[in-house]
Amino acid sequence: MRRLHQSAADPAPLAPNAPLEDSALTRAGRMAEGTGKILLLACGALAHEILALKRMNGWSHLDLQCLPAILHNSPERIPDAIEAAVVKHRAAYDDVFVVYADCGTGGLLKARCDALGVEMLQGPHCYSFFEGNAVFADRAEDEITAFYVTDFLVRQFDAFVTKPLGLDRHPELLDMYFGNYTKLVYQAQVDDQKLTEKAKSCAAFLKLDFERRYTGYGDLAVELETVAQR
């Protein structure tokens, strides 16, 4: 069965005017804020979560530079974008950590990071590391028909799913894209009733059963804590 190109590489690009907290950081891929000693080079789709972890833990020595979330529409471009950012910024920092999983690059990002001498986040994609890579791997065989969404994707559902797939203009395409799925699994990073209700509406729109799992920040928090302790 052919799955929608969703879990191996995140869905379609962020619309230029899509609303999102910290949207400038996420869309434009800017800016290393602060004067920290360690630089986090991250996917723009993780900006909200990383900034929340920085605030909660007082990680003022970690600076954040986000690459545009739109790169997930062309994952083959991610390694070059990461290399360019590492080359540009590494002289100003004691360490650089890449906050991307494989994200559909087929191992190319890991190979590039190894060549650059920088470490990266473990896991195939955000659906895995938010749930916990070990837990996600254990469930993978039983959830081949699950469509996963995170807080980011719930907020950006129209920009990343509805409009890029043309479902707003051609609802008859719904079965072609989602006919092999049985449920939508909402991996919640925060306990927000409004987001949960929106996730339920996404499942209803896709005609899928709904399941909510509170994951928190999962392995993202664990790995960034390790980086912060360096």
User: Is residue 67 located within the same domain as residue 89?
Assistant: yes
User: What amino acid is encoded at 155 in this protein?
Assistant: R
Q: Check pLDDT > 60 for residue 13.
A: no
Beta strands in 95-156 (DSSP E): 95-99, 119-120, 146-150
Q: pLDDT averaged over the chain?
A: 86
Domain that holds residue 162: 132-214
User: Is residue 92 located within the same domain as residue 174?
Assistant: no
Domain contains 15: no
Distances (CA, A) of 70 to 26, 63, 86, 88, 101: 9, 21, 19, 20, 15
Helices and strands (DSSP H and E) totals, the chain:
11, 7
Q: What is the pTM of this model?
A: 0.81
pLDDT level of residue 74 (50, 70, 90 thresholds):
confident
Within 10 Å of residue 56's Cβ, how many Cβ atoms?
Answer: 10
What number is the average pLDDT over the span 171-198?
Answer: 97
pLDDT at 214: 98
**Pair of tokens at residue 76:** 């083959």
User: Is residue 121 located within the same domain as residue 224?
Assistant: yes
User: Is residue 181 located within the same domain as residue 224?
Assistant: no
Q: How many domains, in total, are found in the chain?
A: 2
For residue range 129-184, list pLDDT tens digits in order: 999 999 999 998 899 999 999 999 999 999 889 998 999 999 999 999 999 999 99
